[in-house]
Amino acid sequence: MNRTLHALYREEHEILAVTKESRERGYEIIDVYSPYPVHGLDVAMGLRPSRIPIACFVFAILGASLMFAFQLWSSAYDWPVNIGGKPLNSAPAFIPVTFETSVLLAGLGTIIVLLTRSRLHPWKQPALQDARLTNDHFLLAIRQTDADMHPDLAKELLLAHGAIEVREIVDGGAV
């Protein structure tokens, strides 16, 4: 049986403490919903560092190399113009446009990766658990995957940290 507990909190320090202790006790943390970013919550949840900066770097290198290659090809091979005896493949002249293209492609690629990875698309329905989350409350959602785990122990832990409401959801329906 798949059992999920949703605990609602008012204070930032409460959600941090209960998230850390829930993880230490072995509960699977589904997600923590908050009205604003909470410093240290990613560490308390045990999340790995994001790999989006790697994608940003890859897109920047791709943009720079493609633009540099395009400028080299267009000025030296496709349309060579001899102006005052200057070399056809003048790399210093290519640097500003190469830099700007790397920044452009890095930004666009990062946004595309972020939206794809987060599964954010225009037709996605919001999954708001409680209307109070958009204003001043925090919600911790944990799952009990071990069959030997007693649900009352998890509820006691959540209430001991100041939960104002604990809901139990079994296989998609509220109990």
Instruction: Give the residues of the chain that fall short of pLDDT 50.
Output: none
pTM for the whole structure: 0.71
Q: Please state, in angstroms and rounded to a whole number, the distance separating the CA atoms of residues 112 and 106.
A: 10
Residue spans per domain, the chain: 3-30+142-174, 52-117
Using DSSP, state whether 45 is helix, strand or coil.
helix
